[in-house]
Structure 1
């Protein structure tokens, strides 16, 4: 069975990440966006451990559909670290942005009243804040984990942009283990992973829709009641550890059958997970900044 980070390794990994952050942030300050979720909490705590609270800027974004608990937990993280939380109210800007895109390019059928297009806009607008701080000299510390990267649950020109990603090599279950060492509050550790783009949104349910779809969903599509029922059947079989073990096996070149055995996921779901992963490789993980005078 492919090995994920175990309990004995967590302490050493925490030290390794802190040391790496200390090197990356030598003489400069960091900016981190807090979502109220586990990943950004862990990254913020380890960054403060590395360089101290005085050299860390924390912000959160208020957007339509954001659950109160995410805002509360972002504030609690900042309070725990003794850092003022800069709260940026973007309100209905994402909706208006998608409306403007729809008017400008009707061929793309952007949907201001849908789920996906406004969610993408919310993520992209958060990146505008990072870009603004970066131009004042801050180093952007990312909060993406390997599970998100492997499955494509990020925007390449959104939350996928950062100078240094201290947990990008760790699967979500490994970040959970790291959270216990970092001091993350139990409420944050136990909550279902979510990007917080709309009330009740959960990452595992979103992934179930992607698996049913056979890959990442580009344009919003209509799911029938039968589709929804099948998605819920898929969701019932998903756990973070099963997904991470399957992704690790696939990343190491194992067959679908071997990945199924390693993860306890049904073979048909591993086959679909491979399609999702390959789709992410094509659409989300293309090289960026390519130039004619540089090797590719």
Structure 2
């Protein structure tokens, strides 16, 4: 891990010029904590800006984690109050474009608008001369587990080559607090949200969940059965094995999970890969 930290620090130093500054959107989660620490280690605290978006239904522990991170790094944490604005955005979309089906009455439209608001703030910091350090990891990248015009946007991504389980290992070496390392991974859209549960829904749905999708009680039971088999390590190892083109039955046997889960993750990866390939082809055209 020390070798990996040195490699990432070198990457950040090579990317940033001497007079440039970086901004990190702190969420109270593992990835942003690690990225913030790496940026400070590489550039010094005088060149790193931290901010946190305050939104409705946030878990208090995430807010406390962000504040403790800033205190640990001896940096000021700018807390930007955006509560209520996500619902207002969806209301305006409903008024201006009633045909598309935006709604404040489903879970996903207002929740994903929270991520859109973070993008607005990052764009505004960028306009003030800051470079945006992304917090996506390889697990998210391979699954397409992000909003393309949300948390996927950044100037550079220091940990995008590391699986989530590898980020946890690195976090222990770089000084991240145990309560951050071992908390359930979450986008923080609502209290109790967990990434593994979201991934279970994606597996059940064979891809990302379109806003407005409704699941029955029977659907929810089946999703919970999928979630019982999932850990960060299981998801990471399944992705690795699929990338190495291992047989799906062999993967299932080695990870002790149903073949249907392997097939579901493979389908999600294929969809994410198709999106990345389209973006690449457009750039090369």
What TM-score results when the alignment is normalised by the length of structure 2? Answer: 0.95
Q: Following TM superposition, by how much is the alpha carbon of 1:114 offset from its aligned partner in structure 2, in angstroms? A: 1.8
Q: 1:57 aligns to what? A: 49
What is the correspondence of 1:129-278 to structure 2 with a 5 Å cutoff?
A: 129-278=121-270
CA distance in 2, matches of 1:70, 1:284: 31
| Larger displacement relative to structure 2 (69-78 or 147-156) | 147-156
Does the aligned pair in 1 maintain the 2:26–2:50 contact within 8 Å? Answer: yes
CA distance in 1, matches of 2:111, 2:144: 15
- 3-state SS, counterpart of residue 17 of structure 1: helix
CA distance in 2, matches of 1:282, 1:221: 23
CA distance in 2, matches of 1:105, 1:254: 46
CA distance in 1, matches of 2:261, 2:205: 11
* 1:15 to 1:96, Cα distance in 2 relative to 1, 3 A: same
Q: 1:113 aligns to what? A: 105
CA distance in 2, matches of 1:93, 1:76: 26
Question: Is the counterpart of residue 19 in structure 1 residue 36 in structure 2?
Answer: no
- 3-state SS, counterpart of residue 276 of structure 1: helix
CA distance in 1, matches of 2:123, 2:278: 21
Report Cα offsets for 1:230-254 as digits up to 9, x if no partner.
Answer: 1111110001101001111212333
Q: Following TM superposition, by how much is the alpha carbon of 1:213 offset from its aligned partner in structure 2, in angstroms? A: 0.9
Q: Following TM superposition, by how much is the alpha carbon of 1:279 offset from its aligned partner in structure 2, in angstroms? A: 2.2
Does the aligned pair in 1 maintain the 2:106–2:211 contact within 8 Å? Answer: no
What is the correspondence of 1:271-286 to structure 2 with a 5 Å cutoff?
A: 271-283=263-275, 286=278
Does the aligned pair in 2 maintain the 1:216–1:279 contact within 8 Å? Answer: no
- 3-state SS, counterpart of residue 58 of structure 1: strand
Question: Is the counterpart of residue 124 in structure 1 residue 113 in structure 2?
Answer: no
Stretches of 4+ aligned residues off by more than 3 angstroms:
261-264, 282-286
Match among 51, 59, 67 for residue 67 of structure 1:
59
Report Cα offsets for 1:42-64 as digits up to 9, x if no partner.
Answer: 00001100010000000000011
CA distance in 2, matches of 1:19, 1:246: 30
- Residues matched between the structures, number: 284
- 3-state SS, counterpart of residue 173 of structure 1: helix
Q: Following TM superposition, by how much is the alpha carbon of 1:259 offset from its aligned partner in structure 2, in angstroms? A: 3.1
What TM-score results when the alignment is normalised by the length of structure 1? Answer: 0.92
| Larger displacement relative to structure 2 (273-282 or 160-169) | 273-282
Question: Is the counterpart of residue 36 in structure 1 residue 28 in structure 2?
Answer: yes
CA distance in 2, matches of 1:81, 1:108: 45
What RMSD over aligned residues (CA atoms) do the two structures have, in Å?
1.6
CA distance in 2, matches of 1:100, 1:241: 41
CA distance in 2, matches of 1:83, 1:41: 13
- 3-state SS, counterpart of residue 287 of structure 1: helix
CA distance in 1, matches of 2:278, 2:48: 30
CA distance in 2, matches of 1:150, 1:104: 35
CA distance in 1, matches of 2:133, 2:198: 25
Does the aligned pair in 2 maintain the 1:249–1:262 contact within 8 Å? Answer: no
- 3-state SS, counterpart of residue 267 of structure 2: helix
Does the aligned pair in 2 maintain the 1:17–1:46 contact within 8 Å? Answer: yes
Name structure 1 gaps, 5 residues minimum. Answer: 1-9
